[in-house]
Structure 1
Amino acid sequence: MSSTAAASGLVVFLLSVQVIQSQDGWGVTYSPTEVCALKGSTVEIRCSYTYPSRIQHRDIRNTFWFTKEKDGEPVSLITDSEYSGRVEYICSEKWCTLMIRDLRENDSAEYKFRFMTNQPGGKYTGSPGVTLSITGLQVEVSRPYSTRLLMKCLSSCVLPYYPSYYWYKNGQKINTGSSLFVIFGSSDSYSCSVSGYEDQRSPSVYAPKLPSVSVSSSAEIVEDSSVTLTCSSDANPAANYIWYKKDVNPDPSFSEEPHLVFSSIQSSDSGQYYCRAENLMGTKRSESISIDVKYAPKLPSVSVSSSAEIVEGSSVTLTCSSDANPAANYTWYKKDEDSPKASGQIFIITDFRAEHSGSYYCEAQNNRGRSNSTSYLIAVSDKTTMIIRYTRWTLVVVIPILLLLVCLWMRKKKALSSTTEPHEPIETVELHSYPDYENVSNSAAQREDSEEQEDQV
């Protein structure tokens, strides 16, 4: 490094020794061949050159530095638009210095020197050239304690002198020194610089900002389709991501990638999802995003209002249910009939008759598809006829017999009360049940006539 550069505080780093190339008196010597410099600083790359003794200095017509060629010919940095206003050649007899100001990261390249004379074949390029690496300051973060972070201001280049370091919190200078302790989880940002280049600060480090969550498609999410959720957060160092599904106790983690991929999403994947972004500086949770998977109705089920036997004149209610999203609409059919019987989830037959007996099924449909239930057989119970017959037999046979027996008993009691003397034994009358009530009546009449004759005697 020249004395001028040293005096101006240029941050230039020399990493190798001189190398000389020569051929028949032609040669270029670079010192050094590898240079590392801070972004934003100024660097000088020097070389010396030689040529055969038959050539005089007055024969040197052109000297320049280059990094690339056009149509097989080197392009001088002076004419390269990427270096416009930032490049200067400082040359004299047999040596030349390249000065580049306001170094940028894309200035990293291999630089070569070329000189040309007015003699036939009198031109030479020093190859290989000088490798220039541009670097910036970086803040290295570690967490030696659970609640405190250790920050160090570093560069991949070795500084040729011991500089002073400055620390900045949210852009304001707060401290000096090569390291700094801060509280974990702080929402502040931190950066550093070195003396002489305070305006060339390191990138700020900070905890993740509020993560945002996006879904791969803004259209309706359909079962069996591919869906990708993406979590992103502004953070330095770069954040790591963890995905969670909400309302599962505890919320389980699904992925530790920025993307949560469902290659064939299912209805069971519906729910609320959120992500957590974290780095050494802290952690931040995103808002939840709702995933609503649409699907055609599943196989419907049919239930009847009563498990008891159905009798004529009763009310029967059939209910159809199917898992679907969006909710299904329902239509009722009787087997072997084309026209629907009813619409709606519930089908009611208020006055069930024998002609209503048969197999019924429902169809569930939405905009994703449709599905039919299995048939459900309902019929009038056979016990209905038995009940009617039993009722008729009771009315026609049993009740008249009972009434007749009651009348005879009352008549006999009256007769006995009018003819029986005191202390005279009372004759007991036995009643017998007969299957034929006419025979019972005749027998009672004959008994009465016999008793009257005995009274007359």
Structure 2
Amino acid sequence: MAGTLTFLLISSLLQGALCGTFNVTMPQNINVLRGSCVTIPCSFDVESKFENNLDDTCKACWSDSTSFKSENAKLKPTKEMTGDLTKKDCTTTFNNANLLKSTKYYLRLECDNTLKYTFTKAGVDISFIDDPPLPTLTPSTLEVEEGASVSLTCSAPAPCWSHPPALTWSPNLGQSQETLQENQDKTKVRTSVMSFTASHLHHGNKISCTAVYQKQDGSPDVTAEASLTPDISYSPKNITVSVRPSGPVPENSNVSLTCSTNANPAVRNYTWYRADGDQETFIGTGTSLNIKVFRDRRTFFCKAGNEIGDGRSSSIQIDVQYSPKNITVSVSPSGPVPENSNVSLTCSTNANPAVWNYTWYRADGDQETFIGTGTSLNIKVSRDRRTFFCKAENEIGVGRSSSIQIDVQYSPENITVSVSPSGPVPENSNVSLTCSSNANPAVWNYTWYRADGDQETFIGTGTSLNIQCLQRQTDIFL
């Protein structure tokens, strides 16, 4: 990772020389967060003849002067603060950075033998800062299509290896994994990789990574944040239809439908459909559409498409209001009923809003007689009062059913006999007798009789009867 991206702001080149001679490798520059600890990565080499002098008696000292000895060294780290000098590791951690000042420091190696050397050809410039630099996000911009797998990397310098910064993601969109990585110059950075699947919900919403640095001098923690705003391409989502005017509208009214959606890139095509049961009928294009609505054509939806894909809205049903239609009367019991029976009449209709008033009438020729109210009506029927209809009324208007005639049945009544020729006839003349009657159902049997005093003699059947009149055969009845 580039030195300019680290908290230590270290130059990209390290100081050092070939093995076999006295040389030291360390960063040229380190910016130290005030009140925090700091680790100086350091390694060295000695002349070959001093290799055997590297033992447990060796000590590392730091000073801002090239001409110093251990006696006048300003910084004398303990063994716990340094690496293993016998392995040429002079890495030093200062838990109390207040011991340092903004200047250049040099390393001196002193052992309880002939090995004593100040590395004057290379030093580290120490500078103090009050605020940490921003973490680094990789990639710095995010432009992907919905459904793509995304990995974001957040890196923050770890100036003190024992107390690296804590990294948090906001929002936390998936699994994250943290590591402590080493740069080319041996400095370290804290890295967190968050992996997730891109969603349209992420589009335009800031994703940030925050580094929290804990100070060792007891002062409050300090934070630094880096963020990006993802650009997620996705097909139309949350497609809705709005109607103007809103609320109920009268049948045959003109309304305006508007299709709304979220999409990236923008929608390039809107299409409109009318839902007729299971059928979908194309009716137009455009963000908005003006239409005339009917009670049986009031369900609509739209489709929206962009370069990524298409989406469809839910169906919207417009509240189309109309006066009562298709008004019918049903009778219970159905079919023929005896005269003077009780029957129940029921009025049915389609209406929006619902019918609030039903009225019943009996049709007496050209006269209409009001007989009651309500959806159903119980009445007694007779053969001359058997035709009925109903009216249904809502806020929009009134409608009337067709008249229904109940089949009222009754036995033969008003039975009469007519003679042809009428008037007096000569003895032994032939005459025709005709029987007439009112009945429902129709008469299916006529029988004729001659009355002989108290005697009744059967003489024939049928609506009409031809007989010869004798002087003593004058009384005929049906």
Both proteins in one fold, TM over 0.5: no
TM-score (norm 2): 0.37
Bigger share in helix: 1
**TM-score computed with the length of structure 1 as normaliser:** 0.38
Q: Which structure has more strand as a fraction of its residues?
A: 2
